[in-house]
Amino acid sequence: VFFSYRVSHLILVDPWGFPERPQPQTQEGQGSEVNKRPPLPRWVKAIAAVVSLFNPLAVIRAAGPWGPGLVNRFRPDFKRKFEDLFEDDTMTQYIYHCNAQTPSGEVGFRAMSESLGWAKNPMLDRVHQLPPSMPLTMLYGARSWVDSSSGDRVVQIRNQAHTKVLLIDDASHHVYADQPEEFNKVVENICNSVN
């Protein structure tokens, strides 16, 4: 009901958390599991278990004044994406200061996800609850790590509702930064179509 009165068109940009975690396949008639990949070695599982105890950006916070240098060193793409707008290290400083604060976003993400970043409560199970009268556009970067096939599944689930999946070429997860002109054009067209 909340959505019906306050949202004219829902735009989800490279949305995470839609698909269910894939289950291991089993051979018919045999109770044994057949995985496409061999099982992970114990040492890999041990390292993953230790790493999962820490927030991924804790290193940036722990680095203190050297944090911006770490951002520059390990993610030079951030500065490159915005070099047309900023000649200095404004973007690096911005990314650093966003992530040097209390890790509320990281804590929230960990609370909503299970191993390897799968959603604990996938949206595909709940997307049918959106009012059919609400238009929905799912906008993905064509080179993103987020699988856009979930968008196609949402189109099937919402059947009669206005649902569109759009891919922006040469864009990764940060669609708005990788292809800002195309991203803005798509969002502006959607906004102009709303009554």
Provide the mean pLDDT of the chain. Answer: 80
Cβ–Cβ under 8 Å, residues 148 and 165: yes
Q: Which two tokens stand for residue 102?
A: 């209390």
CB 137 within 8 A of CB 148: no
What b/e string do you get for 152-166 counting C-beta neighbours within 10 Å, with b at 16 or more?
A: eebeeebeebebebb
Alpha carbon 135 to its chain centroid, in Å, reads 21
- CA 16 to CA 123: how far, in whole Å? 9
| pLDDT tens digits along 118-177 | 888 899 999 999 988 899 999 999 999 888 999 999 999 998 789 999 999 999 888 988
- CA-wise closest residue to 143 among 186, 102, 110, 172: 172
Instruction: Output the CA angle 116-64-115, nearest 5 degrees.
Output: 5
DSSP per position, 78-107: HHHHTTTT-SSSHHHHHHHHHHHS--HHHH
Domain annotation for the chain: domains and CATH numbers: 1-16+119-195 (3.40.50.1820)
pLDDT band at 41; cut points 50, 70, 90: confident
Q: Which of 185, 146, 138, 142 is nearest to 162 (CA)?
A: 138
**Band of residue 182 on the pLDDT scale cut at 50, 70, 90:** very high
DSSP E strands in 45-168: the ranges are 113-114, 118-119, 136-141, 163-168
Q: What are the pLDDT digits (tens) for 10-35?
A: 999 999 889 887 776 655 544 444 44
With beta carbons less than 8 A apart as the criterion, state whether 19 and 150 touch.
yes
Q: 168 pairs with which residues across the strands?
A: 141
Distance, in Å, from the CA atom of 77 to the CA atom of 82, rounded to the nearest integer, reads 9
Report d(CA 195, CA 191) in Å as an integer.
9
